[in-house]
C-alpha cells in the first residue's frame, strides 16, 4: 500500500528526525506506528544516522502491530525486523537474526538487557506511559541502556493517565533527568506538596499552583502533542449511562459491607482490609457477584446482566463489544448469552469481519495497538475501571479513524447509589487514579486519616 501521509504526519516525521530526544504524544488513531517507522527509514537509509533500532511495546503490539505495519506499506519494505517474544529459546533465536529493527515486549526488556550483546543507537518506547513506575524492572533496564542510545522516541496518547507525577519517570528515561531532575525527590519537592498523610508518612501529593504550566514548559522543547479531533474526521462520540437499581435486600448487603468492611453471605465471608480493597469489593457487588475470602464466587444480583441483554437486543443485530473487569463478570455474561472473548489474532480478525455479535474484552488487553473499529461501533462497559488510561484506550478501539459508522456509542451500565457512580464521575473529570477512588470511598464512609482503625 502506498503511504500518503497527512500533513500532521509529515510534521511528526520531521520532528522525530530533527530531535534526537522526542516525546510524541499522539492521540489514538493518528497513526503513530507508521509515522515512527517512516522516520526510522529516513534516518537509516537516507541520512545514515541510525544502524540498529530497538522497539519496546506491549506484547500484542510488539508481536503483531509493528510487523504488520512494516508489511503493509510499500515504502517500508526495505526495513527488516526481528520480533523478540515467546520462550527463551525463541527470543535467543530472534536476537541472532540480522535485522534493522528488533521488537521486544516490555515484560522482556530486562531479560534483553541482561542477555543481549547488541548495541542499539535508537530506541522507540511504544507506550511511554508504561515506564511511569521508576521502581519497575523495565524502567531500571531502560535507564541502564539509555546512556549508549543516541536517539530515543517515546510514544503515547496518555502521558499523564494517573496524574502529573507519572511524567518524571517517563522523562527521566528520555533525557536522563535533564528537564525534570535526576531524582524523583527533586521533582516532588519542586512541583508538589504533600496531600494525604498519616503522621510522617505521605501517601499522595498534589501539584503546587502553577506546577502544571511549569512542568510543560520544561519539557516543551522535546515534546509534540496532537489530538485526533484536531486533525481527523472523527465519528461523533455519544456517551450514555444506563442505570440499574439494586433491590432493597441487595442494597442492604452492599451498604453492610461498605459500613462494616465485613459481609456474611451464604457462600462465605467477605472482608476488606483497607479502603483500596473495599473499592474492589464494592465494584464487584455493583456488578452482581463477589469473591469471598475463600475465593468462591457468590452471586448478588442480575441487574447488570438484564440491562446488558436489553442493550444487546436494542442494538438490532449490530455487533456489540462488552468491556468487563472481573473474571466472574465474564463467566456470568457467557452463562447468560453467547459471547466470545477477544484474545487471539483470529478473534480480532473475526470481530473486524463482523462474525462476532457479542464480543468480550478486558481493558488491560484492549489498551494499546488494537484496531477494532471495523467490527462495530457500540461499546458497553459492564464493569468500570478506575484507570483513566485503560478507559480512554479501550474506547479508542472503536472511536478512531477508519470507523465506518458516523456515531460511536459508549454505554455504561451503572448501578445507582453504588461506587459505579463515583468511578464514572472520576473518569469524566480526567482523574482516573486509584487514590481518587479511595478518597471517594473514605468520603462515603466518613473515614478520616486517623479514625476507623487507621484505614486510609
Contacts of 258 (CB under 8 A, 6+ apart): 278, 282, 441, 444, 445
Domains 7-231 and 236-243+307-454 share a fold: yes
Place of cell 477477544: 342
- Topology of domain 236-243+307-454 in CATH is Rossmann fold (3.40.50)
Helix (H, G, I), strand (E, B) or coil at 200: coil
Chain centroid, CA 424 distance in Å = 17
Rounded-to-integer distance, Cα 214 and Cα 336, Å: 52
User: Can you give the pLDDT at residue 450?
Assistant: 32
What is the CATH superfamily name and number for domain 7-231? Tandem AAA-ATPase domain (3.40.50.10810)
- CA triple 326-330-336, angle to 5 deg: 140
Rounded-to-integer distance, Cα 224 and Cα 198, Å: 39
Contacts of 312 (CB under 8 A, 6+ apart): 320, 337, 357, 358, 380
Eight-class DSSP state of 112: H
Rounded-to-integer distance, Cα 363 and Cα 367, Å: 6
- Rounded-to-10 torsion of CA 61, 66, 68, 71: -170
User: Can you give the pLDDT at residue 427?
Assistant: 84
Eight-class DSSP state of 404: S
- One digit per residue, the tens of pLDDT, for the chain of length 456 reads 899 888 888 989 999 999 999 999 887 667 889 999 999 999 999 999 999 999 999 887 888 889 989 998 999 999 999 999 999 999 999 999 999 999 999 999 999 999 998 899 999 999 898 899 999 999 999 999 999 999 999 998 777 766 788 899 999 999 999 999 999 999 999 999 988 877 788 878 888 999 888 998 899 899 988 776 676 677 888 888 888 999 999 999 888 888 877 666 666 767 776 767 888 889 999 999 998 888 889 899 999 999 999 899 878 788 999 999 999 999 999 999 999 999 888 998 899 999 999 999 999 876 555 778 888 999 999 999 888 888 888 998 898 877 878 889 999 999 999 999 988 988 877 654 444 444 443 433 343 333 332 222
Domain ranges of the chain: 7-231, 236-243+307-454
Amino acid at each position: 500500500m502506498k503511504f500518503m501521509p497527512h500533513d500532521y504526519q509529515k510534521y511528526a516525521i520531521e520532528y522525530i528526525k530533527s530531535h534526537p530526544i522526542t516525546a510524541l504524544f499522539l492521540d489514538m488513531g493518528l497513526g503513530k506506528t507508521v509515522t515512527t517507522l517512516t522516520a526510522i527509514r529516513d534516518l537509516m537509509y537516507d541520512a545514515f544516522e541510525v544502524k540498529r533500532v530497538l522497539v519496546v511495546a506491549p506484547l500484542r503490539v510488539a508481536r503483531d502491530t509493528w510487523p504488520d505495519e512494516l508489511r503493509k506499506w510499500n515504502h517500508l519494505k526495505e526495513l527488516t525486523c526481528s520480533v523478540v517474544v515467546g520462550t527463551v529459546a525463541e527470543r535467543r533465536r530472534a536476537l541472532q537474526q540480522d535485522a534493522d529493527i528488533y521488537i521486544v515486549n516490555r515484560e522482556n526488556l530486562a531479560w534483553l538487557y541482561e542477555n543481549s550483546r547488541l548495541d542499539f543507537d535508537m530506541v522507540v518506547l511504544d507506550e511511554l506511559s508504561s515506564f511511569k513506575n521508576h521502581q519497575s524492572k523495565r524502567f531500571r533496564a531502560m535507564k541502564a541502556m539509555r546512556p549508549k542510545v543516541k536517539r530515543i522516541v517515546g510514544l503515547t496518547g496518555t502521558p499523564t493517565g494517573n496524574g502529573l507525577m507519572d511524567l518524571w519517570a517517563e522523562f527521566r528515561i528520555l533525557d536522563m533527568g535533564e528537564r525534570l531532575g535526576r531524582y524523583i525527590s527533586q521533582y516532588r519537592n519542586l512541583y508538589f506538596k504533600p496531600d494525604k498523610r498519616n503522621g510522617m508518612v505521605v501517601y499522595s501529593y498534589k501539584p503546587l499552583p502553577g506546577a502544571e504550566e511549569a512542568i510543560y514548559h520544561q519539557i516543551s522543547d522535546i515534546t509534540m502533542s496532537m489530538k485526533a479531533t484536531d486533525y481527523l474526521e472523527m465519528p461523533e462520540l455519544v456517551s450514555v449511562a444506563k442505570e440499574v437499581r439494586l433491590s432493597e435486600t441487595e442494597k442492604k448487603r452492599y451498604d453492610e459491607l461498605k459500613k462494616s468492611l465485613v459481609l456474611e453471605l451464604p457462600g462465605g465471608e467477605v472482608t476488606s482490609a483497607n479502603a483500596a480493597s473495599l473499592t474492589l469489593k464494592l465494584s464487584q457487588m455493583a456488578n452482581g457477584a463477589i469473591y469471598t475470602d475463600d475465593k468462591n464466587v457468590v452471586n448478588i444480583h442480575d441487574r447488570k446482566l438484564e440491562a446488558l441483554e436489553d442493550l444487546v437486543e436494542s442494538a438490532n443485530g449490530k455487533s456489540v463489544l462488552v468491556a468487563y473487569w472481573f473474571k466472574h463478570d465474564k463467566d456470568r455474561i457467557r452463562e447468560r448469552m453467547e459471547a466470545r472473548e477477544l484474545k487471539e489474532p483470529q478473534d480480532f480478525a473475526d470481530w473486524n469481519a463482523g462474525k462476532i455479535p457479542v464480543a468480550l474484552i478486558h481493558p488491560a488487553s484492549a489498551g494499546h495497538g488494537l484496531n477494532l473499529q471495523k467490527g462495530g461501533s457500540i461499546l458497553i462497559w459492564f464493569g468500570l475501571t478506575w484507570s483513566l488510561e485503560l478507559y480512554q484506550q479501550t474506547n479508542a478501539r472503536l472511536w478512531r479513524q477508519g470507523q465506518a459508522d458516523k456515531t460511536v456509542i459508549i454505554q455504561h451500565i451503572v448501578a445507582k447509589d453504588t461506587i459505579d457512580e463515583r468511578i464514572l464521575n472520576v473518569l469524566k473529570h480526567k482523574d482516573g487514579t486509584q487514590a481518587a477512588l479511595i478518597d471517594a470511598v473514605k468520603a462515603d464512609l466518613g473515614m478520616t486519616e486517623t479514625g476507623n482503625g487507621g484505614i486510609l
